[in-house]
Amino acid sequence: GGRLEEMFMATTHAKFYCAINTVGVAPCIVGKSNMFRKSHLDEATDPARNPILTGTSATSATLPSGIDYFSSYMCEDHVIGDLLWRTRIAGFANHGLVYGDLAIQPMAGMSVRAYAARRVRWLRARKWTVLSATLVEHGVESLVCCFYLSFGLTTVPWVHDTLSIPQTWSALLWCWALAVTLWMLVDRAVFKRLHAGLSIAVDGNTPSFARGASRGGAEKRLFGEWLLAWLGREVFALPIWTWAVFLGTGVDWRGKRFRVRSDMTVVAMDEDTEDVNGRLGDGSEGIRSGKID
């Protein structure tokens, strides 16, 4: 499970977060890697000083200001980043990148079940936060995306007439295998680049795990074991996405069960009133107000 988590963070997650940040259409926030000014949070969450809060939902209108404004949200780091992104603060841009001063998160050993549960929690928290992105996310995973490409190459008449690609199932499989292989090679390059740790400012206080593979810190992955983890991550991607998006709204967080609501807030749930998919039963008394740390 830990290897799958490592693979996700150092390939798919890294590529698409970098892409969206480069384009600059929306904030991509990784909570442990960000610092916010308290004064900016106070300003952004005060309806009297932030006009974009005018006309928001009744729930938002009753929330306290400052950091407590975000206490009812599961993905509070994204909500903080999104609000700061949309708030005009005099003298400041949307965000800044600090070279060399990075947050490093070593991956702990975990079971495959724990990895799947973590990914389900992420997806269900994001489902109402960035709905459109979540719904198309499965289409940018390697196996599905390469199938879309291969299907198009072997069915579109113009492609057949121009490139002479046969319109057969065997041709589709060959195109798919080639596309997946190229995707894997790109992921391998991104993984090695990130684990090299070249952008980390190293000094005498830097722990070994944060020094990067280029300085004898992070363990280098042989291609064989890396490939097994990559294949496992890719194969699990679509089933996990399907389970998270379509088969429930409940998430486990620090020993408690919560339901993610469509306004991005969460409420705690009693275990005896939820079904196996994390949906509420008939008893409304199963809901009580909850707060995520």
Q: What is the pLDDT of residue 56?
A: 57
- The answer on 199 and 143 residing in a single domain is yes
Q: What is the pLDDT of residue 130?
A: 76
- The answer on 285 and 189 residing in a single domain is no
Residue 106 maps to a domain: no
pLDDT at 112 over 70: yes
Residue 239 maps to a domain: yes
Q: Kindly report, residue by residue over 27-77, the tens digit of the pLDDT.
A: 776 666 677 888 888 888 888 888 877 655 555 556 778 888 887 777 777
Residue 257 maps to a domain: yes
Residue 40 maps to a domain: no
- The answer on 217 and 259 residing in a single domain is no
**Count of domains forming the chain:** 2
Residue 222 maps to a domain: yes
Q: Which of 8-12, 18-22, 103-107 has the lowest mean pLDDT?
A: 103-107
- The answer on 265 and 234 residing in a single domain is no
Q: What is the pLDDT of residue 280?
A: 37
- The answer on 147 and 196 residing in a single domain is yes
- The answer on 263 and 216 residing in a single domain is no
- The answer on 211 and 156 residing in a single domain is yes
- Is 77 designated active site? yes
Q: What is the pLDDT of residue 32?
A: 60
Q: Got the DSSP string for the chain?
A: -HHHHHHHHHTHHHHHHHHHHHHTSS----GGG----HHHHHHHT-TTT-GGGTT--HHHHTSPSGGGGGTTBTTHHHHHHHHHHHS--TT--S----TB-----PPPP--HHHHHHHHHHHHHHHHTTSHHHHHHGGGGSHHHHHHHHHHHHTT-HHHHHHH----SHHHHHHHHHHHHHHHHHHHHHHHHHHHHTTTB---TT--GGGS-GGGT-SPPPPHHHHHHHHHHHHHHHHHHHHHHHHS--EEEETTEEEEE-TTSBEEEE-GGGB-TTS-B-S-GGGEEE----
Residue 44 CB contacts under 8 Å (≥ 6 apart), including other chains: 50, 83, 84, 87, 89
Backbone dihedral angles phi then psi of residue 268, each to the nearest 5 degrees:
-75, 150
Residue 163 maps to a domain: yes
Mean pLDDT (whole number) for 2-8: 87
- The answer on 275 and 192 residing in a single domain is no
Q: Which of these is catalytic: 77, 161, 187, 272? A: 77
Higher pLDDT, 82 or 73: 82
Q: What is the pLDDT of residue 185?
A: 96
The whole-model pTM stands at 0.76
- The answer on 229 and 155 residing in a single domain is yes
Residue 161 maps to a domain: yes
The rounded distance, in Å, linking the Cα atoms of 98 and 198 is: 14
pLDDT at 289 over 50: no
- Residue 206 structural domain: 132-246
- The answer on 142 and 241 residing in a single domain is yes
Among 51-60, 164-173, 196-205, 211-220, top mean pLDDT goes to 164-173
Residue 269 maps to a domain: yes
Q: What is the pLDDT of residue 128?
A: 76
Q: What percent of the chain has pLDDT over 90?
A: 21
